[in-house]
Amino acid sequence: MHRYILKRLVQLIPVILGVVLIIFLIMDLTPGDPARMVLGNMASEEAIAAFREEQGLNDPLPIRYLRYVFDMLRGSLGTSYRSSRPVIDELLARFPATMQLASASIIFALVISVPIGIVSALKQNSLFDTVGMVAALLGIAMPAFWLGLILIISFSLKLDWLPSSGSGSFKHLILPAVANGVSCAANIARITRSSMLEIIRQDYIRTAKSKGIGKMKVVLKHAMGNCWIPVITVAGLQFGTMLGGTVIIENVFAWNGVGDFLLKSISAKDTPCVLGGIVMFTVVFSVVNLLVDIVYAFIDPRIKAQYQ
């Protein structure tokens, strides 16, 4: 098992280096001179030249990329143009808030979607199934930020039950987590239903049933074991979509996280912060994918067996 985890960790390294390279190349396309941007139009030519030299902006692209990677390994992502503080400090200060929102969204999604998917499969073509699956289709079609606005109108402005913006308490978390989690929930509900439908027709389920085991036990013990694999795959992939969505949801709910910071950095043309923010998001996504693969190994005896 350790060997498997180690192997996956090693495989993560080239992916992260590649991701950083791609984002680095894209951000390098940003027009305009960063030195001018920071020092302003009034700055003298000497000051500009000195800044370029100091920041290493005159070096060719490959050198700048390698320096970025080595700095990254030492825990530095450069300095913000706006605040002159290290980018990593700016990001880490906001990281817990983003993770809080993302995990609340995925927990919300799993808690509502898995039971809906299972019941829909067990009662295929019933009213519950139809309503559940139509709701899932709508959930997938809804942009998270729009759902967020609708939730704010209904629960904050009309009913005044929950706060429309800010972070801090559990009450602040509910609306953004729901808005961000709904499409994820819809996707998971659909995949749970379809994999459950496939599983309950298998021979071993018929065997379990014919042994006289109660229906609940058959589903929860025998069927769920195999159902988790596709569900976790989709949940992992959805987590990436959700991290992307977080950027916009944080903007809608004025949630002081990495996403909101990223957008503010984009409008301020603070390239080191934009680069750092996107790199942070992608590294988190890659690590989550790794965790998903490790979870697989625990629940899927076929993978486990290969490494024992």
Partner 1 sequence: MKKESKKNDFQLSPEEMEILKKYKKRSFLAETWRGLRKNKGAVIGLIIIALIAFVAIFADLLYDYEEVVIMPDYSATLMSPSLEHPLGTDEFGRDVLARIVHGARLSMEIALLSTAFSLSVGGIIGAYSGYLGGKFDAIVMRIMDIFLAIPNMLLALAIVAALGPNLFNLILAIAISDVPRFARILRSTVLSIKDSEYIEASKAAGARTTTIVFREIIPNCIAPIIVQASIVMAAAIIIAASLSFIGLGVQPPAPEWGAMLSSGRSYMREYNYLVLFPGLAIVITVLAFNLLGDGLRDALDPRLKR
Q: List contacts with partner 1 (CB under 8 A).
A: 14-15, 18-19, 21-23, 26-31, 137-138, 140-146, 149-150, 152-153, 157, 194, 197-198, 240-241, 243-245, 247-248, 251, 262-263, 266-267, 274, 278, 281-282, 285-286, 289
Residue corresponding to tokens 């490959």: 62
| Count of beta carbons in the 10 Å neighbourhood of residue 178 | 21
Cβ proximity to partner 1: between 157 and 305 the closer is 157
Residue among 155 and 304 whose Cβ is closer to partner 1: 155
Instruction: Output the smallest distance, CB 147 to partner 1, in A.
Output: 8
Classified as helix, coil or strand, 44 is coil
CA–CA distances in Å: residue 240 to residues 233, 285, 288: 11, 6, 9
For 156, the enclosing helix (H) or strand (E) is none
Question: Closest distance between partner 1 and the C-beta of residue 177, in Å?
Answer: 18
| Residues 6 or more apart whose Cβ sits within 8 Å of residue 258 | 91, 94, 95, 97, 98, 246, 250, 277, 280, 281
Look-up: residue for tokens 């503080």? Answer: 85
Rounded CA-CA distance 260/254 in Å is 7
Rounded to a whole number of angstroms, the minimum distance from the CB of residue 245 to partner 1 is 7
- Give the tokens for residue 38: 């920071």
242, 106 contact by CB (below 8 A):
yes
Can you tell me the distance from the alpha carbon of 25 to that of 61, in angstroms, rounded to the nearest whole number?
8
Structure tokens at 140: 């997938």
Residue 26 vs 47, nearer CB to partner 1: 26
**Closer residue to partner 1 (CB): 80 or 282:** 282
Shortest distance, position 214 Cβ to partner 1, whole Å: 26
Specify the residue, 22 or 47, whose C-beta has the smaller distance to partner 1: 22
Kindly calculate the radius of gyration of the chain based on its CA atoms and give it in whole angstroms. Answer: 24
Classify residue 32 by its DSSP letter: S
Distances in whole angstroms, Cα of residue 203 to Cα of each of 91, 102, 206, 211, 212: 52, 39, 5, 12, 15
Q: How far is the CB of 50 from partner 1 (least distance, A)?
A: 26
- Give SS3 for 35: helix
Query: Looking at beta carbons only, is 6 or 138 nearer to partner 1?
Result: 138
| Minimal distance, residue 96 CB to partner 1, in Å | 20
Shortest distance in whole angstroms from residue 31 CB to partner 1: 7
Of residues 107 and 150, the one with the C-beta less far from partner 1: 150
CB of 238 within 8 A of CB of 292? no
Q: Whose Cβ is closer to partner 1: residue 50's or residue 145's?
A: 145
Minimum distance from residue 20 beta carbon to partner 1 (Å): 10
